[in-house]
Structure formats: structure tokens, C-alpha cells
Chain A
């Protein structure tokens, strides 16, 4: 090998190294490109166009759209129905967290401890989540029926007639009645989440704790619950975001009524677009919903980080 040849070989090596380095730099972009493209098409573009639509006065048909600037947003700011429905979302989020998560944790811990004999129970408890919301909604419309439903029937048979209520038709009860069903349907989801987290809880720790004389209660409060805290944070976040954009059971059971008593932002948006034919204003509601959910998600993320502690 002559000196010249050696030089060119070294040069080649250097070049190819530079090339691979460049490739290295480009790799993330290449790998992320499909995902980013999909996100742009299916998330960013619709999001931006819904903001654009919120500046129009349009019924969604033909080309009668009229640009009206921020008028829809001004109207939204003064729309008591919208703010009332946003408040209902917050109530739904609060009760989802307060009702669903504790019950889900308890169920998960109990089922986890009874690990072998609980397979059937696990399936049973999981069932509500497998049912379609529409079917559930119709089912519970019948359960809540003030004249023929089993709830009022049982209360009446027990001589508690004064406790019977017009569950879905009375503005004071409609939201609560629906929230109860929403919670019932979603508890299994969080139960599974916690069950998964508990399966990674090392058995030796429980055994060691027992040898040290720890009671079942101590093991639950001091060992298992701290172990679950990461999952708990995720669950809270999911429950809050899910509640803020909730739609299906409320739509099926009450349609947001009566008199907007159980209206949430999503059902209100649906009504403005599909019943009133106001696509522009409906998009304003949708965009506002997006902004509100973003803020709330960011805040709950921040708060949950604060509670993050070393286990």
C-alpha cells in the first residue's frame, strides 16, 4: 500500500464517519416524521381550522359563510349556558376523582390480595366498561324512570315514597344522577390501572413487613398506597381530562337537559352545531373547550408534580 493510497483510505473513513454522524443527527427527524405528519393532519389542522371557523357566522352548508371577527367569542364570554356547562364539567371532574379513584383503589387492593379466587370477580367488575355507553344510557334511563324504574319502585315499596325523585327530569337531580352512572361505568378502568401497578409490587416487601409485625392496614397505608402514587397521579389526570370533554352518557340520558341542568361543554357544542345549525358559534365553543382543557390539564400536571415524592 502506497502512502497515497493510505491517505485516501483514511479520507474515506473520515468521510463516511461524517456521513454517519449526519445520519445520526437526522435519524430522530426521520423516525418522528410519520407521527408528526399524522398529528399535523389529524390534530393540528382540524384544531386550527376550528379556530378559523370560530370567526365565521356560518350554518355549515354551502358558501354563505360570513367573517365576523371575534363576535362569537364576545358572545361566548356572555353566554351563561356555556359557563354553566363548564361548571358542570368541573363538578363532573371533581366527583369522578373523589368517587371513582378511592373505590377503584380499594377494589384493586382487595382483588389483588385475593389473587387466585378473584378471577371471576375481576371479569364481573370489568363488565360495565365493556358495555356501549348508548346501551348503558338507555338501560339507566329505564332504571331512573320515575314511574316504572326500579329505584323509585324499591323506595316506594320500602315506604320511603318521599325519597322517590324525578331523577332525570328534575334540574336539581339530573346532573347527579348522570354523574353516578358515569362513575359506575369508569371505576373498572381505574381498577385495572391500579391492579397493573400492584402486580409490580414485590411480594417480599409484604412478607418482610409481616415479619416485622406490620398489620394489613399498615401495609396498605404505608407500603401499597405510596407504591401506587405514580399511577394515582396518572389516574387523576385522566379522570380530569376525560370529565372535561365528557359527552356520551350525558347526551344519551338527558341530552344536557332539562333546562340545561346537566349540560356540559361538549353537549352544548353539539347542540349549537347540529340543532341550531350554528357551525361558527359551535366551533367557538369547541375552541374554548380546547383552551380550558389545556389550562386545566397543565395546572393538574403542575400540581401533581408537586406531590411527587421519593418512595
Chain B
């Protein structure tokens, strides 16, 4: 008994050292603790999540949810360390896709299919397509916990009106808009590309508009004929560099930090007129700078002249964050109940007030901006998940590196494509 207690304490100590968050004083005997990690840091969003957890605690006496919230990039590292050290949280958020598949392959994630089959009401609550990023070999490993997140171009309506501009529908028009903005001393796009994923959005959208989603799928799945050196990838690189050369981005774009608001500052101050970003940023802006929200509009990524991709396609994810349960969780059944509480109708409604739209069937949105996002998704023939979340981690890193280099004009689109293809070949072996 003594040694088991010691072992338990040692385990606790370890996880506290690793994650720096488990309260040492917590006596684990009488309350069953469920740890839950996510990457939400806005006060209002965290409060909503906590409210769902409180409802779970009220419905399940004896359980206590210990929640921790981390900043985006730090979160990815924390999660990796925690799993590597065999001290993962019970419930954790991810984007599905490549990284989650690594954890699933290692047997670290609970298969939710049996639970969902037993609770058809839960399963049927969400749009079927929203399960795609968390489906692996036919089984479902997560529930969509946040909102539909797609890349849209946010813009300052005031600036556009003053200069007589209208949202561009094609890439050619976008280049014209950029030219007019530059002539008036306003940078066309704000971009904070230090962590590389924000810039990647341009590349993903361009590839999708030029070659359609099939090109990426064929290259990523190593289908016969599929290659990252496909002309679509090279043309996307060229067009991206055209925009850079035409001063399309506010100064410092490759060094600005998204997590400290490097790009939003440019929008707020009116020094830049547009930003390609996930629609979650509308919620961030509402929390951060409500005054600016009145000037904010958005439009879909423009079509590319002669491109094969449907301009109605969107890049992003229906669920944004998915919550999953780790296999090391001692109370998986209770954890599933927590997952349900965090995604049920009450949570959905609370999130809606926070500008987060869950991928729920037949959702009614009051806010016209959000309704616009939902309409875009509803009409989209395909939703392409962000490359950095879809690809296996090693490849995702190469993709992000080469895209940042494309932005920096330090490699040619052909070189970027060749590097990516070589890495994909090495990964497939």
C-alpha cells in the first residue's frame, strides 16, 4: 500500500514537473480528477469551456475537471512532451489530421466509435463531414469542440469605401486592389509569418484554386501520378511571389509574431487593409478591439483565372479543434461524458455568443458576419484541411519552411516543390 502510494505520488510529481500544472496538494483519493488541456486563452472562451465542465461536475458527483489553457504554439509542444513522457492529459484538444494520426498510431487515443454508436443522438448532432479530420481507418477519435474555421480575407471596410474599392473576386482584381492600396500608402495584407502557418494559408488556397483539392490529395497520399512538383504547386508559388514582389504584405511579415498580435495591430491602426486568416479572428477581434469590429468585413479567397479548382471551395476545418481522450485516462467513460457536455446544445449556444460556430446540423446564427461564414461552408463542394495539420508532422515542417522561404523570395517555386517532393518520397519509404 505504502509503495503504491509512493508510486502514485511520484507519478503526480513527474507530471507536475513535466507539465507544471498538476496541483501537488490535491488528494486524489476521494475526488477523481480529469485533466483537460486546450489552446483557448481568451477570457470569454475559457469561461464558456469552464461552464461546460461545471455542468459535467454537477452531473457527475465525485469528479473534478482540472483544466489548463495554453497559447497556440506552446500547446503543440506541451502535448508532445506530455505524451512522450507517458503523462498525457485525460482530455485534449487537437486539429485532427497528421499529428493526431501519430498519436492514434501509437495507441494513445481512445476510439470513440463504440461510444458514438451507443449514443446516436450525440453522433447525429454534428455535420457528418466534420468528422473527417478525426477519422482514422473508419473509426472516430474526436468530437468537434470549437467552431467552423475557414480561411477568409478579413478587410477594413472603411479603407475600401474611402478608396472606392470592392472586394476582389479574382486574383487579377486582388492584384489591382493591392496596387491601389499601395499607391495610397496602405499595405494590402497584414501577415505575421514567424510561426509559418499564417503564410501557408495563401499557398494552400492558391493550390486549391489552381488545381483543385485532388492535386494535393494525390500528392499527399502518394497516388500514382501525384506529386508535389505538379504544375499547380509551382504556379501557386509563382503567384505568391508575384504578390510579395508587388509589395502585397506589410513590412516585417516573415518576423512578426501572430501570438502577440503582430498582424492585428496593423489592421487596427489602418496601416494594412486585409488579412487572410481563419474566421476565429473575428471572435478574437471582438474580444480584443470591439470598436474595430464595426469596420471589419470579409470575403472569400478570390478565384484564379483559368484555375481548375471551384472558387466556392474553402480551406479550413469544420471543427477547428477536436477533443479526444487519451488511452491513459483512468476514467474514459466519464471523460466521454465530459466531451459531450463540452459540445452539447448549451455549449453550442454559449459559443455562438462568442462568435464560434459549431459544425452542428441546422444551426441558427443571428449574427450576419457569422451567417456569412456558415453560408460559405454550406456552399463549399470541398473543405481542404490546413496542410500543416493534414500532413504528417515531418512533411508539415518542410511545407512550412519552404513556404516561408517562398515568401522571403530566397528560393524559386521549382526548388520549393522539389524539396517538398523529396521529403514526401523519403516519408513514404
Known A-B contacts A145-B252, A170-B255; A62 and B108 likewise in contact (beta carbons under 8 Å): yes
Scoring B253, B254, B262, B405 by chain A CB atoms within 10 A of each residue's CB, the highest score goes to B254
Shortest A18–chain B CB gap in Å is 42
Which of B76-84, B132-140, B310-318 is the interface stretch? Answer: B76-84
Interface residues of A in 25-71 (CB under 8 A from B): 59-64
Residue of B nearest to A138 (CB): B260
A64 to B256, CA, bound (A): 37
Shortest B414–chain A CB gap in Å is 17
Q: Which of B77, B84, B410 contacts A259 (CB 8 A)?
A: B410
Which of A91-99, A161-169, A285-293 is the interface stretch? Answer: A161-169
Specify which chain A residues have a CB less than 8 angstroms from the CB of B401 in the assembled complex: 259-260
Cross-chain contact A257 with B194 (CB below 8 angstroms): yes
Interface residues of A in 138-171 (CB under 8 A from B): 138, 141-142, 144-148, 166-171
A274 to B260, CA, bound (A): 21
A108 at the interface (CB under 8 A from B): no
B50 at the interface (CB under 8 A from A): no
Known A-B contacts A62-B107, A64-B106, A174-B255; A258 and B271 likewise in contact (beta carbons under 8 Å): no
Specify which chain B residues have a CB less than 8 angstroms from the CB of A255 in the assembled complex: 194-195
Shortest A217–chain B CB gap in Å is 44
Number of B residues with CB within 8 Å of any CB on chain A:
41
Interface residues of B in 106-154 (CB under 8 A from A): 106-108
Specify which chain A residues have a CB less than 8 angstroms from the CB of B392 in the assembled complex: 277
Cross-chain contact A147 with B254 (CB below 8 angstroms): no
A112 at the interface (CB under 8 A from B): no
Cross-chain contact B255 with A275 (CB below 8 angstroms): no
Interface size class of A (residues with CB under 8 A): 35 or more
Cross-chain contact B408 with A259 (CB below 8 angstroms): yes
Specify which chain A residues have a CB less than 8 angstroms from the CB of B394 in the assembled complex: 276-278
6 further A-B contacts with Cβ under 8 Å, apart from A62-B108, A147-B251, A277-B102, are: A59-B393, A142-B260, A166-B255, A171-B408, A254-B255, A277-B80
A271 at the interface (CB under 8 A from B): yes
Specify which chain B residues have a CB less than 8 angstroms from the CB of A104 in the assembled complex: none
> What are 22 pairs between A and B in contact, CB < 8 Å?
A61-B84, A61-B102, A61-B103, A61-B105, A61-B106, A62-B107, A145-B262, A146-B251, A147-B265, A166-B251, A166-B255, A169-B251, A174-B255, A257-B196, A259-B410, A275-B76, A275-B396, A276-B393, A276-B396, A277-B392, A277-B394, A279-B84
Cross-chain contact B255 with A257 (CB below 8 angstroms): yes
Residue of B nearest to A169 (CB): B255
Shortest B321–chain A CB gap in Å is 19
Specify which chain B residues have a CB less than 8 angstroms from the CB of A63 in the assembled complex: 106
Residue of A nearest to B103 (CB): A61
A278 to B106, CA, bound (A): 14
A60 to B77, CA, bound (A): 13
A300 to B57, CA, bound (A): 61
Residue of A nearest to B190 (CB): A147
Chain A residues engaging chain B, CB cutoff 8 angstroms: 59-64, 138, 141-142, 144-148, 166-171, 174, 254-255, 257-260, 271, 273-279
Cross-chain contact B80 with A141 (CB below 8 angstroms): no
Cross-chain contact B269 with A61 (CB below 8 angstroms): no
Specify which chain B residues have a CB less than 8 angstroms from the CB of A170 in the assembled complex: 254-255
A63 to B86, CA, bound (A): 12
Specify which chain B residues have a CB less than 8 angstroms from the CB of A145 in the assembled complex: 252, 256, 262, 265
User: Looking at chain A's contact residues, is the secondary structure mostly helix, strand, loop, or mixed?
Assistant: loop
Known A-B contacts A61-B84, A255-B195, A277-B80; A148 and B408 likewise in contact (beta carbons under 8 Å): no
Residue of A nearest to B272 (CB): A147
Cross-chain contact B397 with A168 (CB below 8 angstroms): no
A287 to B162, CA, bound (A): 59
Cross-chain contact B393 with A277 (CB below 8 angstroms): yes
Cross-chain contact A275 with B262 (CB below 8 angstroms): no
B257 at the interface (CB under 8 A from A): yes
B250 at the interface (CB under 8 A from A): yes
Q: Which of A144, A259, A273 contacts B404 (CB 8 A)?
A: A259
Shortest B189–chain A CB gap in Å is 13
Known A-B contacts A62-B106, A258-B254; A274 and B77 likewise in contact (beta carbons under 8 Å): yes
Known A-B contacts A61-B106, A64-B105, A171-B410; A257 and B404 likewise in contact (beta carbons under 8 Å): yes
B266 at the interface (CB under 8 A from A): yes
Specify which chain B residues have a CB less than 8 angstroms from the CB of A258 in the assembled complex: 193-194, 254-255, 404, 408
Shortest B75–chain A CB gap in Å is 11
Cross-chain contact A169 with B256 (CB below 8 angstroms): yes
Cross-chain contact B397 with A276 (CB below 8 angstroms): yes
Specify which chain B residues have a CB less than 8 angstroms from the CB of A260 in the assembled complex: 401
Residue of B nearest to A255 (CB): B194
Specify which chain B residues have a CB less than 8 angstroms from the CB of A168 in the assembled complex: 194, 252, 255-256
Residues 398-409 of chain B, each 1 if its beta carbon lies under 8 Å from chain A, else 0: 000100110010
